[in-house]
Amino acid sequence: DQQVKQNSPSLSVQEGRISILNCDYTNSMFDYFLWYKKYPAEGPTFLISISSIKDKNEDGRFTVFLNKSAKHLSLHIVPSQPGDSAVYFCAAKGAYNTDKLIFGTGTRLQVFP
Amino acid sequence: KAGVTQTPRYLIKTRGQQVTLSCSPISGHRSVSWYQQTPGQGLQFLFEYFSETQRNKGNFPGRFSGRQFSNSRSEMNVSTLELGDSALYLCASSPLGRGIADTQYFGPGTRLTVL
């Protein structure tokens, strides 16, 4: 049972435009959400996170939106740059006394000039 | 501050052997978690340690085990290796290990190939 889903396996965006990556979850107990960027054969790099008490968090070019009623979050990258090309994972966790992350399947973003 | 380090970076073993992977968390971080990444299953949680105690375990067979030392360094061991154990093994650490709102930072991973 896939509790965190990223339904778009890939996304192609022109440099300078907005990239929107989506993530859906099924477990209403999830309370904290994170986005990671990953290159092949490397560890994920933390980008941005959001707590369920917020609906938006911004950090530079990255903004994460959370719609708790729809169990949906999205990552916006504005403006997109070629260096943003990577696989993006959303992850969720819910229990207080654990660091266990449930990952989505990832979306491969390609930013072309 | 140095990031999470993992050794070795690459490893080739044959079926039936055992392997030990090592992880050094970011200085001051007390919680260490392990994940397995494969093309078919994505990133799957293996287990997590806090203050030398296993706090949570994923859905993996008993051949997968781990431990944490008093300096927060962690090792994971896989015994009786199978071809399907070929994967990227990732270690992550977090500062407080309190769960909510505590970000995990990942190491570069150990690429294990089982022949």
**What phi-psi label fits residue A84: left (phi over 0), alpha (psi between -120 and 50 degrees) or beta?**
alpha
Residue B98: band (very low, low, confident or very high) from pLDDT cuts 50, 70, 90: low
**What phi-psi label fits residue B99: left (phi over 0), alpha (psi between -120 and 50 degrees) or beta?**
left
Q: How far apart are CA A21 and CA A9, in angstroms?
A: 10
Q: Which residues pair with A72 in a beta bridge?
A: A24, A67
pLDDT at B103: 85
| Mean pLDDT, all residues of chain A | 93
> Within 10 A of B82 (CB to CB), how many other CB atoms are there?
12
Per-residue pLDDT averaged across B71-81, rounded?
96
Torsion sign across C-alpha atoms B59, B60, B62, B67: negative
For A90-110, write each residue's pLDDT tens digit.
Answer: 999 876 677 889 999 999 999
Closest CA of chain A from B82, distance in Å = 21
For B23-37, write each residue's pLDDT tens digit.
Answer: 999 999 989 999 999
Closest CA of chain B from A76, distance in Å = 20
**A 39-98: CB under 8 A from B:** 41-46, 49, 51, 89, 91, 93, 95-98
**CB–CB contact B101 A43 (8 Å):** no
Q: At B102, list the tokens.
A: 């505590």
DSSP state of A17: S
Residues in B lying within 8 Å of A, measured between beta carbons: 4, 6, 31, 33, 35, 42-45, 48, 50, 55-56, 58, 88, 90, 92, 94, 97-109, 111
Per-residue pLDDT averaged across A6-18, rounded?
96
